[in-house]
Amino acid sequence: MRVSTPCPAAGDRNAGLGRLGRGAVITLLFVVGVLSALVAGCAASHPGAPSPAAHHAAPVLPPPVAVISTDPPDRATDISPLKPIAVTVTKGKLTQVSLTNTQGAPVVGQIDADGKSWKTTKPLGYSRVYTITANAVGDDNRAVTSTTTFTTIQPRTLTFPSINPLNGETVGVGQPVSVYFDEPIADRQAAESTISVTTNPPVEGAFYWFSKHEVHWRPQQFWEPGTQVTVEIHDYGKDLGNGIYGQEDRISHFTIGDEFVAHADGATHQMVVDINGQMVRTMPISMGRPSSPSTNGIHVVTDRNATKVMDSTTFGLALDAGGYIAKVQWATRISNGGEFVHAAPWSVAQQGNSNVSHGCINLSPENAKWFFDHVKKGDVVINTNTGGPDLKPWDGFGDWQVPWTQWVSGNK
């Protein structure tokens, strides 16, 4: 009887590996795969070579040691144009600093010898945006740059001050210092603080306000002949109240000339002129008639005209009420109310014995010419016994009509 040996099934073709089960075969294949991957990884990496990330990384440096600071700080507003702009550096030295406005115009400044700071040397403008660009080199030899901006104050409006007397003039002993602002001043004390009056020899004086626009300064007594006077107004950048700032600094230097004082007496109808305390001339005069009397008090010469057209309507006297329009010679103004010392050939017969003018002091042509030739702005004419009212302090330069005790109060 033949015994047949059965053929192995198709699924048993791995029987040569031994009598391993299916699970053992799978485990063996997984281990082989892991070993292959490890071998491949080791083959791709050389033990002595740096990684790609380590090859390209930059060294990390500390921040620069130099620090730049500005005064004012960045984006500051309402900066006074008078404020010195400063740049400083620590742990380094400044190499270049520029300050420019929005139009690129530079502002002058200077770096100190040690290179540690920079400051402006000129005022700034109003309502401007400025840019500071500062460069420095630190103690570590590394360069740093700083850029900042700031804005100056924006006034509501500006005021321009005018000075009388003008620079270079020679004036009489009665001339006050007058400052005229073209805007009404809200803070009078602030405005006064911008004005300085210095004299040689020194003399005490005080301010007195005649209006919101006008302030005067004078000594207690008439000036001494030969006094040198300097008036300086430093109002630029200064707040004078109500949003008004000074537009421009001003200066005037003038000299007090010889003392010329004329005494006009409405009772004696005579004018006596003293120069430097010496009587030099006596002249017959005719002053204002009773219906239009001259004013009493200390008058100061403000203007001179070789020929002057006088119109009474300019000071309120209508032509149909006894007014006049006349051309006169050698006219010297002594008040803004229409009072002059002038030639009046039509009243020579009355000069020395009666008052027939409309308020002026009438002289003969010869005497009027002499007076005109010798008198100057700021000289003094003192009227007495006119039968009229006192000169108002605001009429021309009636400053001396204000008693000193009242004057020093300032009229603020």
SS3 content of the chain, % helix, strand, coil (to 5): 15, 40, 45
Amino acid identity for residue 265 in this structure: D
- Residue 29 backbone dihedrals phi, psi, to 5 degrees: -65, -40
Would you call 183 exposed, middle or buried from its count of C-beta atoms within 10 A (0-12, 13-18, 19+)? buried
For residue 86, give every residue at least 6 positions away whose Cβ sits within 8 Å of its Cβ, in sequence order, or none: 70, 71, 117, 118, 119, 120
Parallel, antiparallel, or unpaired: how do β-strands 270-275 and 170-171 relate?
A: unpaired
For residue 90, give every residue at least 6 positions away whose Cβ sits within 8 Å of its Cβ, in sequence order, or none: 66, 67, 69
The encoded tokens of residue 100 equal 């420019």
Residue 285 DSSP class: -
Tell me the C-alpha distance between 113 and 94, whole Å: 10
Would you call 165 exposed, middle or buried from its count of C-beta atoms within 10 A (0-12, 13-18, 19+)? buried
Check: CB of residue 286 under 8 Å from CB of residue 362.
Answer: yes
Q: Find the catalytic residue in 216, 269, 299, 360.
A: 360
Tell me the C-alpha distance between 395 and 411, whole Å: 16
55 is catalytic: no
The encoded tokens of residue 400 equal 């001396």
For residue 183, give every residue at least 6 positions away whose Cβ sits within 8 Å of its Cβ, in sequence order, or none: 157, 158, 159, 213, 244
Tell me the C-alpha distance between 236 and 160, whole Å: 9
Q: Find the catalytic residue in 216, 299, 342, 358.
A: 342
42 is catalytic: no
Q: Among all chains, which residue has been given the structure tokens 């010392």?
A: 341
Considering only the C-alpha atoms of the chain, give the largest distance between any 2 of them, rounded to a whole number of Å: 196
Active centre residues (catalytic): 342, 360
